[in-house]
């Protein structure tokens, strides 16, 4: 039974996002719907929309400034950012060594 007030159950995760040209790493905290699972989360950050630099840049900026909005002209690519995904201290997806 899903409550309309609280929405579907979610789990928390952290995306450690590295801006590859500078090596700066920021932690972006978010939630993911339990029903889509860790596999779905990894898929989203690799094959899915979050795998693209335009979205990764937005999350990287929001990690420092939550009010950051994605610009209308954003740059797509797949080399600008690397991401490790962490759930309760477990690294479930790793693209770079800290």
The residues binding Zn ion (CB under 5 A) are: 52, 54, 76
Q: How far is the CB of 73 from Zn ion (least distance, A)?
A: 11
Whichever of 56 and 93 has its CB closer to Zn ion, that residue is: 56
Whichever of 69 and 90 has its CB closer to Zn ion, that residue is: 69
Whichever of 52 and 92 has its CB closer to Zn ion, that residue is: 52
Q: How far is the CB of 59 from Zn ion (least distance, A)?
A: 12
Q: How far is the CB of 15 from Zn ion (least distance, A)?
A: 16
3-state secondary structure of 21: coil
- CB within 8 A of 43, min separation 6: which ones? none
CB 51 within 8 A of CB 45: yes
Alpha helices in 1-98 (DSSP H): 37-46, 53-64
């Amino acid at each position: 039974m899903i409550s309309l007030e609280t929405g579907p159950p979610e789990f928390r995760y952290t995306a450690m996002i590295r801006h590859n040209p500078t090596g700066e790493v920021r932690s972006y905290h978010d939630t993911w719907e339990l029903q889509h699972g860790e596999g779905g989360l990894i898929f989203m950050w690799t094959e899915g929309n979050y795998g693209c630099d335009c979205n990764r840049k937005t999350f990287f900026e929001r990690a420092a400034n939550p009010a950051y909005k994605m610009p209308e002209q954003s740059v797509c690519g797949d080399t600008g950012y690397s991401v490790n995904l962490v759930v309760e201290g477990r690294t479930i997806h790793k693209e770079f060594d800290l």
